């Protein structure tokens, strides 16, 4: 079972937990009502009004996957969030590769997983997550934020949602020593994947080139394969390709 530690304020729960990770047991969760400099993928910041949202980090020690298969941890975290939010607020949630969580075309959750390796093994993984819950207005220049209160029209119990998400992540990760559990998790991830419906959508690669493509597959290491409009297949690592959504590149 996760062990929860509340910090009144911190710049980043991932950074805070990383400093203490060697002395804490696996399953420790650091959470705060006031995160002043949350970090996301590609160095992005995370806006969060004090006391309104979930900003937390979960410590996983020696998860049962090799370093080459670490994307399963990302899948576990993303699916735990999608399924918890679906229970909380209904349908419409999906995972935008690699692990943002969307409600339709708007971002409700971001996460950053940071792994420390021991040879071919993962010594520890810090899963940092921010979920927009009870914040009604967003003041940053983020193009498409949304919160649960925007979706449902009422406030949500932060602690209950935190415990649901963290318990689910732990259960999914603990199961990953079993090959069938890995297959099941990946199937759930693909079923929940944003725009994985066989249709073509606009993308932009790292050079600024825009093209139309559909999702073909995602490998165990997280590599995304897109089927381009001309029938060719191309593989992309993190940061090498972006969705284009509502004229914004995300």
Q: Is residue 49 within 8 Å of residue 132, measured between CB atoms?
A: no
Residue 42 tokens read as 């590609």
Q: What is the architecture of the domain spanning 201-249?
A: Roll (2.30)
Q: Which ranges in the chain are annotated with CATH 2.30.30? A: 201-249
Whether the pLDDT of residue 37 is over 80: the answer is no
Residue linked to tokens 């998790």 = 185
Residue 44 binned pLDDT confidence (cut-offs 50, 70, 90)? low
Secondary-structure class of domain 3-191 per CATH? alpha beta
The arithmetic mean of pLDDT across residues 159-177, rounded, is: 98
The arithmetic mean of pLDDT across residues 80-89, rounded, is: 98
Task: Give the pLDDT of residue 191.
Answer: 97
Residue linked to tokens 């999906």 = 94
Whether the pLDDT of residue 147 is over 70: the answer is yes
Phi, psi of 114 (to 5 degrees): -125, 120
CA 243 to chain centre: 16
Could you tell me what percent of the chain has a pLDDT over 90? 88
Q: How many residues does the chain have?
A: 250
Residue 177 binned pLDDT confidence (cut-offs 50, 70, 90)? very high
Whether the pLDDT of residue 248 is over 60: the answer is no
Residue 49 binned pLDDT confidence (cut-offs 50, 70, 90)? confident
Q: What is the pLDDT of residues 97-143, one digit of tens each?
A: 999 999 999 999 999 999 999 999 999 999 999 999 999 999 877 77
Q: What is the pLDDT of residues 59-83, one digit of tens each?
A: 999 999 999 999 999 999 999 999 9
Task: Give the pLDDT of residue 142.
Answer: 74
* E strand spans, 62-218: 93-96, 100-103, 106-118, 121-131, 201-205, 210-218
Q: Which ranges in the chain are annotated with CATH 3.30.930.10? A: 3-191
Residue 249 binned pLDDT confidence (cut-offs 50, 70, 90)? low
Task: Give the pLDDT of residue 220.
Answer: 85
Q: Is residue 5 within 8 Å of residue 30, measured between CB atoms?
A: yes
Pairing of strands 45-46, 54-61: unpaired
């Amino acid at each position: 079972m996760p062990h929860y530690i509340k910090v009144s304020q911190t710049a980043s729960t991932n950074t805070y937990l990383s400093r203490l990770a060697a002395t804490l047991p696996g399953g420790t969760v650091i959470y705060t009502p006031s995160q002043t400099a949350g970090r996301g993928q590609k160095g992005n910041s995370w806006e969060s009004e004090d006391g309104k949202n979930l900003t937390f980090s979960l410590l996983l020690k020696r998860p049962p996957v090799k370093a080459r298969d670490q994307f399963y941890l990302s899948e576990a975290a993303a699916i735990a969030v999608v399924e918890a939010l679906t229970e909380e607020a209904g349908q419409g949630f999906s995972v935008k590769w690699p692990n943002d969580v969307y409600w339709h075309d708007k971002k409700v959750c971001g996460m950053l997983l940071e792994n420390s390796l021991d040879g071919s093994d993962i010594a520890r993984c810090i899963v940092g997550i921010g979920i927009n819950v009870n914040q009604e207005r967003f003041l940053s220049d983020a193009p498409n934020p949304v919160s649960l209160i925007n979706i449902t029209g009422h406030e949500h119990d932060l602690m209950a949602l935190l415990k649901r998400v963290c318990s689910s992540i732990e259960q999914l990760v603990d199961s990953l020593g079993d090959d069938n559990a890995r297959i099941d998790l990946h199937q759930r991830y693909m079923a929940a994947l944003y725009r994985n419906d066989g249709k073509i959508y606009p993308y932009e690669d790292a050079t600024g080139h825009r093209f139309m493509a559909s999702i073909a597959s995602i490998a165990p290491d997280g590599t995304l394969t897109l089927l381009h409009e001309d029938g060719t297949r191309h593989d992309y690592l993190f940061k090498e390709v972006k969705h284009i959504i509502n004229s914004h590149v995300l």
